[in-house]
Structure formats: structure tokens, C-alpha cells
Amino acid sequence: MSDPVLSVRDLRVRIGDREIVRDVGFDVQREKTLGIVGESGSGKTMTALAATGLLDTPGAVVSGRSTLAGETELVGASPRLLRRVHGGRIGFVFQDPGTSLNPLLTLERQITESLETHRKMTRRQANARALELLEAVGLPDPQRRLDAYPHQLSGGQRQRVMIAIALACDPELLIADEPTTSLDVTTQSQIIELVRDLQRDFGTAVVWISHDLGVIGQVADDVTVLRDGEIVEQAPILEIFDEPKNAYTRELLRARPLVGRSEPAPASPDAPVLLRVDGLDVQFAVNTPVGKSTVHAVKQLSFEVRRGTTLGLVGESGSGKSTVAGTLTGLIQPTAGTARLDGVDVFGVRGAATKELRRRIGLVFQDPFSSLDPRVRVQTAIDEPLRVHGLAKGKRARQTRVAESLELVGLPASFASRYPHELSGGQRQRVSIARALAAEPELLILDEATASLDVSVQAHVLDLLAALQRELGLTYLFIGHDLAVIQQMSHQVLVMRDGEAVEYRTAAELFADPEHDYTRALLAAVPPARPRAAV
Amino acid sequence: MTTFTGESTRVASWRLLLRNPVTVVSAVLLGVVVFVAVAANWIAPFGVNDVDVPNALQPPSGQHWFGTDELGRDVLSRVLVAIQASIWVAVVSVAFAVVVGVTVGIVAGYRGGWVDTVFMRVVDVMFAFPVLLLALAIVAVLGPGTTTTILAIGTVYTPIFARVARASTLSVRVEPYVQMSRAMGTGDLYILGRHIVPNIAGPLIVQTSLSLAFAILSEAALSFLGLGIQPPQPSLGRMIFDSQGFVTMAWWMAVFPGAAIFVIVLAFNLVGDGLRDVLDPKQRTMIEARGKR
Amino acid sequence: MAVLTHPIIRFIARRLLYSLVVLLGVLIVVFALVHLVPGDPVRIALGTRYTPEAYNALRSASGLDRPIVEQFFGYIGSALTGDLGVSFRNGDPVTVTLLQRLPATVSLGVAGILIALVIALPAGIWSALREGRVSDAIVRITSQFGVSIPDFWLGILLIALFATTLGWLPTSGYRPLFGDPAGWLRHIVLPSLTVGLVAAAIMTRYVRSAVLEVASMGYVRTARSKGLPPRVVTFRHTVRNALIPVLTITGIQLATILGGVIVVEVVFAWPGLGRLVYNAVAARDYPVIQGAVLLIATLFLIINLVVDVLYAVVDPRIRLA
């Protein structure tokens, strides 16, 4: 029985007069992975950075103990000691591969830097080792890649390079802070596998931080659940999943969207078709410093949506799904194709009829922070469609309508006088929904509308949307990348890749027996309900 | 903890502004300057052209706080009235630049397409000329004088407002809340008035303060060259020019007008910086708070 | 043929095309100058020397008696061959005069920008790395002062102190570099300090903000997490990446200096383009004004083009797009 690689006790982080992290303690065992899970604001990143001496937020005060390999104390250590530890004994992988690599240095340089610093290698030796590392992380054509620059790689490839850099000096511990959050689900599962293999080969202990319990289930041996800077529960993985002791943990588990768990209320099978799209094709010119290039975002897409049902539009980034939403709302000009809303030509509409069409198709976006004008009160925001479409005459009538809209989405009428920054992310999304509904649309397009919300909040908003569909007979075009959420909300599903339709069937059929390889790959990549350790 | 402190953006802005002592001092200073600009004629102890040769080149004294120049004129009075003229020129020319520049910028940024291309090419051409050179060229065409100076400075500063307005408009235009309004069928005018203009006001206010500072410098340079405000109207630049032959024997002739320019420009710059710290990092904090995970 | 599609070539070609379009605009503006004068430019220029013969002679020599469109193309045509007309004042060919005065202005501009860089780069970087601390505040305040000071006033004060009172340096004038290097140096010190100090103040602020922006980037955090020595993090990662925007700023600043030296040249009786323009404006010598404005604007465009090209060469995101 050996010492834990990292042993943290009574860790506290204080900024100004606020305690961000309180009384946190955990152990990371050799060759094992500790999963730290929490929603936004839980302090998980702060905890990891504080425990490893990498925290540099101005004014932050760290106290407590964090011992590496039973002998090196990291909290309050000298900068010199920490520099030896960072990179040499602890490797780090951060969330955003786009900005975590220096755009002006070759990949080789970014790897050899640590080798030269910590292992005192010559440039030539470091070069050879860098090649080995790139091979080990599964980067195709590693020899040529040595001289490549970060912008020439995809997000997944960059993350592999980050892992190579982190493991370059064979550290005892790897800290991975939301390493797969910005990646597509298929890439995510590849990276999870990669880290697992490397952990086995190198014998590294790992701390994996994530908000996603599914991912944690795939990677962790032990789990620590954080909330508002405090530990809520700590247990081995199976215990957390099967016998959670704390109500919050149970809530997190319950709120997690899972494939095969829920379905929308059945819809009438002979509901009339509300929206019919035929041969939609969108190409745009993109300006780059070296000239114009064309992006073929949507290729010959056709689908229909029946009244009162939801069509789930699934795809990874770059699939063109948001472009489809853009064309239906008039924000993007299609290159070819037709779309008819109850017979009305969507793309060809002109003049006065345009406004009416815009009223009938509503839109809710993903980001709760920028979906509402920060300078405009909730009242005015919801008021806008009422004014624009003349749906309520007079100030009093509009105020009543606003209050009704708020009630409809489960918010108190008193919120009308608030500004967006006085609301939480979930509340803002509800206001966006209220705003979209105030116009009494027939079709509501939800473009990744819950993707930026915490899991528990997302569950509530999805419930709200389902309830509204039943009550008001709304038709949804639900765009997303999370298959479990899509299954929960959709009657029909259209899978897109690179602008094309890959599979288009009823949800029941698609999830029971996917036809296309890509769909199968997507489904296989979704972290399952049970943790890996249970299998 | 995730979202930001629940204070209204507007209220927090003022509070932050007041918290910075430098900005407060500069604002007070500006207040004094504005007061002088308005009341110069009344508070000046002597007439600006009261020649008094026997008392020429007198150092600062109880009677002449800033001394007298080579014709015995009271330097303090001349400086006060000259400040008035400078402020007037700066304010009118920047107002002109703001009105024209911001309109062009908003239209170009919001409309896009060929309108944007044409407007911005014109702005680019104007940017190809160094500021003072272009102002000089305009003065050369229209002849020296206060009105020409205002026109020249106004014209020369229009492009920067066009660019700032356009850049801000472009970034606000792609914000989801604007996209949602457009998708909803809201008219362009409503979107411009309710969403775009209030959200681009920040950078524009900062730019206005900075441009006022530079306008004062430009006016002073033009007057120094004899092409701006014409004698017998006193102007700070011209006073410095006239002081050239007398600098070592009558330092007050050069120092006070120059110091006046320096202090006014500095005050505008400091206020502009203070405004920028308040109005811009707010946007940065929002962007940071947005990155939820 | 593959060379033509290389990203750098395409980038340069686009920038070149863009510059030419702007240049055309510049030509139109410059050409229009003489035609926007309320009143008759020839008559105004002749002033007291007016006689009907002189008037007609000057008018036809300047081509002002031909239709506008013909004049415009004539002007462009001549400009391309280096003929910018003759001075209204003394009949000298404008191009020759401009070329005579160019070296003085260029040496002043280059000396000024060098002084600015020597001050602004270290100060801006240092101040950014010590953000929030006293040293940062000092640099910020000092640069605020520098930006607020009228350059002609600074020049006069410097002359008063170093030339007139202390007698260390001459009050004005110019010595050519190749004829009299020591004299050149003595004469250029004060004017280039005047230009350079103000430019330094402006650039320090830009350098500082460029470094601050880079320092907040993810890859700087990655560099720290690798345990690299602080100097490496600072220079190889932070500063090096900030140099790209700094390069752009330097180009703009140099170009701005070229236009702004007018006043400094007047203060120091420096025989450069600036002083030429000043005299020409006073005398309403339109061809000279037009020629000088055209030359300076063209230099401006060329400098910006060179900066863009350097940028393309240095930044792999463009070089290997």
C-alpha cells in the first residue's frame, strides 16, 4: 500500500473577503484517476490549481496542505520549487485547445521546452523524445507534425498534443481540467481512451475535472463532488453511482440526460405537416487574410415537421445544423431550396408578409448571457415582439401579457423589472423562451438552447419545454449535439454531418436500431449510464 | 458566484468611475476648464489686446499673475480667452466628427454589403493622410481662420469615429440578442435605437474624450503655424509661437500657454482613460463570466 | 505556377491591390485640392505679383486651362513619370524640390522612431508585466504626460534648456550625415528627441496593452504550467507574441510621424518636407502642397504595406494558411 501521489487536506482559497474553496481534502492514488465533478461555480478548477500551486488570480490566498508523493508540500512552496514540480512532476491539460497552444511556436518546440527545462536534454535528444510522444498520443504522421503549428491541427489533435506536452517529462500526476468539454462527442471518447491507455503505460495518476457525470463515469476510480466550494460527497465510483448518499449527488445523477431514459409525450400520428423543407443548400464566402474561400454549409437537405411534434436536428460542430436555423429565420440567405410553413414560402417572402412569417417562427439561442440585451429590462425584452406584431394594444395590456408570459415559463411576474445580470443562466433562458413565445409562434426553433446550462438547470428547462409543447401545441425544431437530450425531446430525428443528412427517421427507430455508421459511432461515443467500472 | 455581482451596469459604472481618484481629479479639472471657457471674458482681469509697452516683458506679479508679453499685454487674460477659443474649436469640430462619423459607421456596420465597402474605402483613403497634413491641406484650400480650423479638424477626425462606430456596430450586430430580434421580425430602426446604439455608446464616449484631447493639440499646432485662429484673437498656439524669441528672458510667455494646453489635454486623456476602464472591462467581465465551464 | 497560389503571395497581392485602390483615392483627393479653392488659385498664388501675362503663363504651365477630366488623367500620368508640376512661387519642378527635402525628413523620422522604440518597448513590456503595481502606475502616468504635451512646446522648451541656456546643442538647422557626421548628430538630437519622446509615450501605451492582452491568453498559462523559467515565459511566449501587434503599431506610428513632423521642422528650422509644406501653404503654392501631400501619403501606404508583408512572413497562421 503506497502513499497517495497527492494528498490534500483543509484546502481553502480566499479572494478578498469571499471564500471560494472551503475545507477541501482528497487523495489521489497511484495509477488511479480521481474525478472531481461539480457544476459551474463549484470551485473545481480553483481547487485543482490551488492544490498544485498554479493559482495566480490576484489577491487569492491559499491555505491548507497539499503534499506530493508524501514529501513535497505544495501550498506556500517557493516559486523555485513549484517551477520544478510544474511540468516535471505534475502535468496539466486545460480545457480550450484553441488558445492553450502558442500559435507562433512549432509543436516540436512546445514539447521540447519542458524536456530541456526539466530533463536537461539537448535539443536533439528532446526532438527524438518529442517524436515518441506524438506517436504515443496517436497523432497521424508525427514526423511531419513536429514542424507544424497549432492552427494546422483540429481541436482533437491539439488536445492530443497538449497531453503529449503534459506527459513529456513523465510526471507522477496529470491534472486534466475539462479536457474534452470543447470537443465533439466522438473525439471526446477517443481522448478518454487515450488518457486511459497512457495512464496504464506511464503509470501516471490523474485528476480529471468535469461537470459531466457521464465522462466522470468513464474515467474515474474515485469521485469527489463539489458544490459552492465545498465537498458534498466523496466515494469510489461505483458507490457514487449506485448508492449516492447526498441529495445533491442524487440530483445530479437524476438530472443527467441518458440515452434510453426518456421520450417525449407521444404525438398524434396524423398531425398535418407544418414545415416542409426541400433541397436546402447553403454556401457562403468566407474572408480569410489570404483570400476568399467558399464553405458549403448545407447540402441538399430535405425534411418535414408535423404540428405538435419535435424534430431533433443532431450533429457535431460544423455539421451545418445552426445554418439551417439561420435560413428559416431569415438571418442567412440560402443558395437553393424551398421551405414552406403551412404553405407559405419561407425563403421567397417579401414585404409586409415577412413580418407575419417571422412571428410564426420563433428562435431561442444557446448562450443565456448574450441572448438578452444587457441594457434592457425583462419587461422591455418580452414587450418587443408584442409591439412589433401589434399583439397587445396599450401599455397596460402589454404589461399583462408580459406577466402572463413570465408565469408561463415559471418565473414570478416581479422579474419583469429586472435586468439580465440580476438573473441566473437558467432564468435568462426562460426569459428568452418567454420572449420567443410572446409572439405566439407556431414553430419554435431551439438552437442548442440548453447546452450552456448546468445539468440540473437544463433538466428543468427541458421539462418546461415539454410541458409547453403539450399545453400550447407547439412545434419544435430542436437543434443539439447531445443525443440523450435529443432523444428526450424529439419525435423525429435528423442526423447531420458536414451539411448532409446522414439519417432521418423517427426517434424510436433511430435509437433502437441506427442504420448509418456515423449514427452508430455517435451513439457509441455517448458516455453510458453505468460507469465503466461496473461493466 | 458564477454570474457577476448583481449590480445594475449603469450604477456600477458611476461608482467605479468615482472610485478612481485620478479620474475624479481630472473631471474636476475639466469642470474648471469648462467654466473658464464659458466665463473667460468676465473673469479676465485685463483686455486681451490692451497694449502697455512700458510694462512689457514683466515677470509674474501680483498685478499680472502670468506676467506680460512683449507688447505689455496681460498673459493671464490672453490665456483665459485663448482657452475659450480652443475649447470652442475642439468641441464644435469633434461634435461634427461624431455626428458624421458615427452615422457613417453605424450605417456601414449595420447594412454591410456595398454600402459598407464604399464608406470604408473612403475612410481608408482619409486614413492614408497623416492628421496634421490633411488639416493643413484643407486650410490651404480654404484659407486660414477659425471656421476653417473647425472644418479641417472635424473632417480629419471623422474617420476614427466611423471606424470605432462600425467596429462596435459589427460586434453588437452578431450578438444573439440582436439576431433574435431580427429573427422575430423587429424593424431595423427599433433594433438600432434600442439595441445597437446603447451598446456601442461605451467605446464612442471614450473615443470622444480622447478626440477632444487631440483636437486641442491639433488646434494649437495649426495656430502655432499661423493657420488656425487668427490674430488679434489670442490663441494658445500662436502665443507659444510668439514667445520663441523671448524664451530665455521671459519664460512665462512660453510656459503658461503651453502648460494650459498640457493640463487641458491631460485632463481629457485621463478622463477618457477612466471612462475606458469602466466601460470596457465590463464587457470583458461579461465575456469571462460567459465561459461557464 | 504553384508559387502564385502560395499563401504569402496571395496575401501580398491582396494587400497590394487594396493599397492601389486607396492610392487612387489619395490621388483624387490631392488632385481635388487645387480645384476646391474658393476663388482662383492662380490669382491667389500670384498675389501681389499679379499681371495678366504672368497669370496666363502660370495658368497654362500648370495645365489649369484644360478640362477637368483631362487634367486629372494628365496629373496621374505625369505623377507616374515623376512629374508633379512646377511651383507657383519660384517655378522649380516640384519633384526635384521634394526629393531634395526628403532625406532630412526621413532621417528625422527614423531617428524619432528609433528613440521611441528604445523607450517604448522596454517600458511598455515592463509596465505590463508589473500590472497594478507602483512601477506600472509610474509608467502609465508618464506616458499620459507624454501624450498630452504639444510637441512644438516640448521642442521650444528643449531648445531653451539645452541650446540657449546650456549651450550644449545648436538651436536649429541641419547638417547632412555624409558631409559632417558629428554636426549631423549634434543637430539631430533635439528635434529627434522632440519627435521621439512624444511617439514613445504613444507607443508605450500600445505596447503595454498588447502585452497585457497576450499575457491573459491560454498559452501563457500553459507555459507556466510547464514550469518554464520566468524569463522564458516572458520572452518566448508573452513578448514574442505581442510583437506582432507592436509591429503594426510601429508602422502606423512611423507613418504618422512623417505627417506630424511639420511642426517640429518649423520649430527647429529643419529643411525637410514638413517645413516645405508649411511654407507652401503660407504662399498658397498649390503644386508643392499637392506634391508633398501625395508623396507623404504614398510613403504612408508603402510603410503600411511593408508592415503587412512582414506580418505575413512572421505569423505562421498566414504563412502556412
> Residue A90: beta bridge partners?
A86, A173
CA distance C85 to B65: 52
C-alpha cell at A174: 496529470
Within chain A, what is the greatest distance between any pair of CA atoms? 78
Q: How far apart are the first and last CA of chain B?
A: 13
Q: CB-based contacts of A443: which residues, under 8 Å, 6+ apart?
A: A274, A275, A305, A328, A341, A360, A361, A362, A474, A475, A476, A477
- C256 in contact with chain B, both atoms CB, cutoff 8 A: yes
Across the interface, which of B133, B248, B254 has its CB nearest the CB of C165? Answer: B248
Partners of A62 in the beta sheet?
A: A13
For B257, the 3-state DSSP assignment is: helix
**Joined grid coordinates for residue A407:** 408565469
Q: Which of A56, A85, A288 sits opposite C227 (nearest CB)?
A: A85
- The C-alpha cell of C115 is what? 528613440
- Non-local CB neighbours of C105 within 8 Å, separated by 6+ positions: C258, C261, C265, C270, C272, C273, C274
> Alpha-carbon dihedral of residues A355, A360, A365, A371, nearest 10 degrees?
50
**What pLDDT tens digit does each residue of chain C (321 aa) get?**
566 677 778 888 888 998 999 998 988 888 888 788 777 777 777 777 778 887 887 777 777 777 777 788 888 888 778 777 778 777 788 888 898 889 889 889 999 999 999 999 999 999 998 887 888 889 988 999 999 999 999 999 998 888 887 878 877 877 777 777 888 888 888 999 999 999 999 999 999 989 988 988 889 999 999 999 999 998 999 998 998 888 888 888 887 888 778 999 999 989 989 899 898 888 888 888 888 888 888 888 898 889 888 888 888 887 776
Instruction: Name every residue whose Cβ is closer than 8 Å to that of residue B10 and which is 6 or more positions away in sequence.
Output: none
Across B70-83, average pLDDT: 88
Contact B240 C156 (CB under 8 A): yes
- Hey, are the CB atoms on C150 and B121 less than 8 Å from each other? no
Single out the residue of B281, B277, B274 nearest to residue B21, CA to CA: B274
* B7: pLDDT strictly greater than 70: no
Distance CA A371, CA C312 (A): 37
Query: B110: distance to nearest CA of chain C, Å?
Result: 23
Residue A13 has pLDDT above 90, yes or no: yes
A276 φ/ψ angles, rounded to the nearest 5 degrees = -130, 125
Report the alpha-carbon distance of residue C121 to residue C132 in Å, rounded: 18
Asked whether residue A489 carries a pLDDT value surpassing 60, the answer given is: yes
> What 3-state DSSP class applies to A222?
strand
HSE-CB at C158 with a 13 A cutoff on CA atoms is 26
pLDDT for residue B68: 85
- Contact at CB, C11 and A290, closer than 8 angstroms: yes
| Residue B158: its H or E element | helix B146-173
CA A53, CA A78: separation in Å to the nearest integer?
9
Distance from CA of A178 to the nearest CA of B (A): 8
User: What do you get for the CA distance between the two ends of chain C, in Å?
Assistant: 18
Assign residue A503 a region: left if phi > 0, alpha if psi is -120 to 50, beta otherwise? beta
Secondary structure class of A212 (helix, strand, coil): coil
Its sign, for the CA torsion B60, B64, B65, B69, is negative
What residues of C are in contact with residue B122 (Cβ under 8 Å)? 25
Q: How far apart are CA B19 and CA B206, in angstroms?
A: 18
Distance of alpha carbon A477 from alpha carbon A492, whole angstroms? 10
Contact C224 A149 (CB under 8 A): no
CB contact under 8 A, C227 and A86: yes
Interface of C with B in 191-250 (CB under 8 A): none
Average of pLDDT values for A396-405? 90
Q: For the whole model, what pTM was predicted? A: 0.87
Contact partners for chain A, using 3 or more CB pairs closer than 8 A, are B, C
Strand residue runs (E) in A249-385: 273-288, 291-306, 310-314, 336-341, 344-345, 361-364
Q: Is A33's pLDDT higher than 80?
A: yes
pLDDT for the residue numbered B152 = 93
Does the distance separating the beta carbons of C237 and A114 come in below 8 Å? no
Contacts for B206 with CB less than 8 Å, ≥ 6 apart? B272, B275, B276, B279, B280
φ, ψ dihedrals at A264, nearest 5°: -75, 165
Kindly tell me if the per-residue pLDDT of B2 is higher than 50. Answer: no
Instruction: Report the alpha-carbon distance of residue B266 to residue B46 in Å, rounded.
Output: 27
Find all residues with CB under 8 Å of C169, minimum gap 6, and list them: C162, C163, C186, C187, C189, C190
pLDDT given at position A433? 93
pLDDT in tens, A142-183: 999 899 999 999 889 999 999 999 999 999 999 999 999 888
| pLDDT, position B10 | 54
pLDDT (tens digit per residue) in A181-228? 888 888 999 999 999 999 999 999 999 999 999 999 999 999 999 999
Contacts of B12 in chain A (CB under 8 A): none
Do A365 and A371 form a contact (C-beta atoms < 8 A)?
yes
User: Percentage of chain A with pLDDT > 90?
Assistant: 60
Cα–Cα distance between A295 and A297 in angstroms, integer?
6
- Within a 10 A sphere around the Cβ of C202, how many other Cβ atoms? 19
Confidence at residue C3, expressed as pLDDT on a 0 to 100 scale: 63
By Cβ distance, the residue of C22, C259, C267 closest to B130 is C259
Residue A70 and residue A89: Cα distance in Å, rounded? 13
What secondary structure does DSSP assign to A360-423, as a single string? HEEEE-S-TTTSS-TTS-HHHHHHHHHHHTT-S-SHHHHHHHHHHHHHHTT--GGGGG--GGGS
Q: Strand order of the sheet with strand A336-341?
A: A291-306, A273-288, A336-341, A344-345
Nearest-CA residue of chain B relative to A180?
A: B293
Cell 408580459 -> residue: A402
Distance of alpha carbon A385 from alpha carbon A439, whole angstroms: 5
Interface of A with B in 185-214 (CB under 8 A): 211
% of chain B residues with pLDDT over 90: 43
Predicted confidence at residue A52, as pLDDT, reads: 93
User: CB neighbours of A441 closer than 8 A, spacing ≥ 6?
Assistant: A359, A360, A361, A362, A474
Bridge partners of A284, per DSSP, are: A295
CB contact under 8 A, A371 and B195: no
pLDDT in the model for residue B14: 65
Q: A interface mutation test: which of C213, C219, C239, C314 has the most A CBs within 10 A?
A: C219
How far apart CA A485 and CA A483 sit, in angstroms, is 5
Q: Stretch B232-256: mean pLDDT, rounded?
A: 88
Q: Coil, strand or helix: which one is A279?
A: strand
Is the CB of B183 less than 8 angstroms away from the CB of A363?
yes
Strands (E), chain B: none
Check CB contact of A95 with chain B, cutoff 8 Å: yes
Mean pLDDT of the region A227-235: 92
B8 has a pLDDT exceeding 60: no
DSSP C192-254: HHHHHHHHHHHHHHHHHHHHHHHHTSHHHHHHHHTT--HHHIIIIIIIHHHHHHHHHHHHHHH
pLDDT in tens, A57-102: 878 899 999 999 988 999 989 999 999 999 999 999 998 888 899 9
Contact A94 C224 (CB under 8 A): no
Scan for cell 546643442, then name that residue: C169
Query: What radius of gyration, in Å, describes the C-alpha atoms of chain C?
Result: 24
pLDDT, one tens digit per residue, over B127-185 is 888 888 888 888 888 888 899 999 999 999 999 999 999 999 999 999 999 999 999 88
Structural element, H or E, at residue A207: strand A205-210
In terms of Cβ atoms closer than 10 Å to its own Cβ (0-12, 13-18, 19+), residue A22 is middle
Selected residue of A89, A90, A104, A119 to mutate for chain C interface (largest C Cβ count, 10 A): A104
Which string of DSSP letters, residue by residue, matches B56-112? TTPPS-SS-TT-B-TT--BHHHHHHHHHHHHHHHHHHHHHHHHHHHHHHHHHHHHH-
Mean pLDDT of A390-410: 89
